[in-house]
Amino acid sequence: MSEEVFRWVIAVGVGLSWLMTLVTAVSMFGVYRASRRIEDKAVPVFDKAESLLNRVRSMVEESEPKIRDIIDKASEMTTVARDQVQRLDILVTDAAERARLQIDHIDAVVGDTVNRVQETTAAVQNTVLKPVREVNGVVSGLRAAISTVARGNRASVDHATQDEEMFI
């Protein structure tokens, strides 16, 4: 490569470098102006946010004792509720045990009553109904004897056959 071409290449390179520096400077100026505009719009927002944060901070500081009081009371309430549940558990367990004992007692009483009713029924059948059946049998025998004696004559064969057919 000749010296003149080399100078032209260097001159073009320097020109391109200068052009790129100019483009970079213009871009940086655009970025600076855009950031200025954003800053101008953001400052009022930051001021409002700061005042809002200050109000929130003061509200939190004011409500902190109340919140602690609420937490303490809630803790006391859970302790009392736990104690009441334990007492209720003891009461329900005791009531269930008593009810079970009463049911067992009632079951025994009902079983005993059923046994006594069965014994009474058997006794009534043996003491009342058995003699009644015996008396009824004796009376039936007497009735048959009296009717036989009162008729005096024997029944005919036709009558006896008719009586037997009734039983068949």
| Percentage, residues of the chain above pLDDT 90 | 49
Q: Which residues of the chain have pLDDT under 50?
A: none
Torsion of CA 79, 82, 84, 88, to 10 degrees: -170
pLDDT at 160: 57
pLDDT at 150: 76
Q: CA-to-CA distance for 19 and 97, rounded, in angstroms?
A: 101
Output DSSP code: residue 129.
I
pLDDT at 162: 61
pLDDT at 14: 94
pLDDT at 143: 86
pLDDT at 167: 59
pLDDT at 129: 79
Q: 19-53, pLDDT tens digit by residue?
A: 999 999 999 999 999 999 988 888 888 888 888 89
pLDDT at 135: 84
